[in-house]
A and B are shown apart, each in its own frame.
Chain A
Amino acid sequence: MLIRTERVSGQGIGELCANHLVLGLIYIMAGSRIERFGTIYSRLQGLLKSGALSQVDCPIWKSVYEAFPPQREPMYEREIPDQKVRPILYPEDFVRVKYYNTFGNTDVVDMSNESVKTTCQRFVEKYFDLQQKGVHPDELFDKTTEILKAENARLRSTDEIPQSISNMESNSKDDGGKL
């Protein structure tokens, strides 16, 4: 009795079935198609116990499953778990909120490049650096802004922007007049 197995690689399921011909041994496994009752293993054990399936005819995954069972039994019927999913927040987030509310996001960020720090990240690091050094909490934000401006970071607050635009206009009034 031979099993002609021609493994046709990567073929669809049609080919799968056509290429596996069992000559002489037609073998139908008894089964329980109730997927919502117990697990595949418990139903397999049930078949064994009732005698519908003999030890020899067990599927190949049985011994592997017994040696390496899943961490959780794949039962359909289970209690709805506790839906408490904690929000992920960091102490830096409060600084980030204030930063983005004041300055917005002017950076062009390459997210795949982890070595370049965004302005916000530099701000946050400097903020905590100053906080550790003992700067007064009320002054922290302003001091950090000063330091980063000194380091040539583009930090113009949203209140400053209209002012700077009007400055530019007043500076260029002569040019406008020529046109």
Chain B
Amino acid sequence: MSAPLSKSRALACRFFSFRTVLKNNGRVTVSCPVAMKARGHNSSQKGYSSSTSPTSQKAAAAEASPLSEDVADVDVAAKSLQHHDYFGVRDLVTVRDMFKARVHFGHKEGLRDPYMAPYLFGNRLGIDIIDLDQTLTLFQDALNFTAHIAYRGGIILFLSRHRQTMPWVERTALEVNEYSHCRFWKGGTFTNATIQFGTVTRLPDLCIFLHTQNNAFLPHAAITDSAKLLIPTVGIVDSNCDPRLITYPIPGNDDTPVTVQYYCNLFKKAILAGKKKRRLDGLEQD
């Protein structure tokens, strides 16, 4: 089974590059292991149970050990995680802009997915209205995550099965130098990649769904596939969509062309911001 190539692995390969050594002023970059230890994620140090997820940890307001000085120097990417909004993407979303882009329009009451009920503001004469205050924070989180993945050189795949807006999704991927797959999703694309493509494959590090459903109003097969292969997903979930398997769901209208353009624009800005910082911080090795 093929899997995303970790950044640490990639960096390990670059130890032998003379250019890298020069760039880092002679210091060798090491990521994950040391950084994780210093952060106290090692269960033996802090006594955290390994089943505690970051979500519940943050909710319990557990104190995290501060990153020690020398470790911070060692892992350049770790510094970006300490800032709440390292790329300035949280300011890109406003409730007013979302309202103008008609993000709050859901489908009719009968089409509602039961798991979307918490994200709804109410029902206006039969039409579900999505709560933009919730969407705001969720969208900001999603954009921030996207920017961080782009910052770390991750592969991003845009997915959509909406025929009307598909060209814009493909164009957005083109403009950010990432990938898109807006055609029929063949069963083993992720799960049987090595055989289907006939070669060792590097799978995406993030999947962005502009439309979570396929043309049969069923969840896109790539959602379960991404979950199976431990690939995080960001997805726009309308009031008739199932948000459960999506890592960073964004409740919002996915049918209006104006709205899809708005989302494409925001994702483009977030990814470009991440990539720009990547170049500025010197993480771009080639």
Contacts and interface: CB of A to CB of B under 8 A. Distances in A.
B148 A68 contact: yes
Nearest to A66: B54
Interface in A1-18: 1-3, 5, 7, 9-14, 16-18
Contacts of A150: none
Contacts of B120: 85
Nearest to B152: A60
A39 B57 CA distance: 15
Interface string A31-56: 11111000111111110110000011
A140 B82 CA distance: 61
Interface of A: 1-3, 5, 7, 9-14, 16-18, 20-22, 25-35, 39-46, 48-49, 55-76, 78, 80-88
9 contacts: A10-B174, A12-B181, A17-B193, A33-B191, A40-B247, A66-B41, A68-B81, A74-B246, A85-B123
Interface of B: 1-10, 12-13, 16-17, 31-33, 35-36, 39, 41, 50-51, 53-58, 77-78, 81-82, 109, 112, 114-115, 117-118, 120-125, 128-129, 137-138, 141, 144-145, 148-149, 152-155, 157, 170-171, 173-175, 177-181, 183, 189, 191, 193, 197, 199-202, 204-206, 224, 227-233, 244-249, 286
Given A29-B1, A61-B149, 9 more contacts: A1-B13, A16-B157, A16-B204, A39-B247, A43-B230, A59-B230, A61-B154, A65-B247, A85-B120
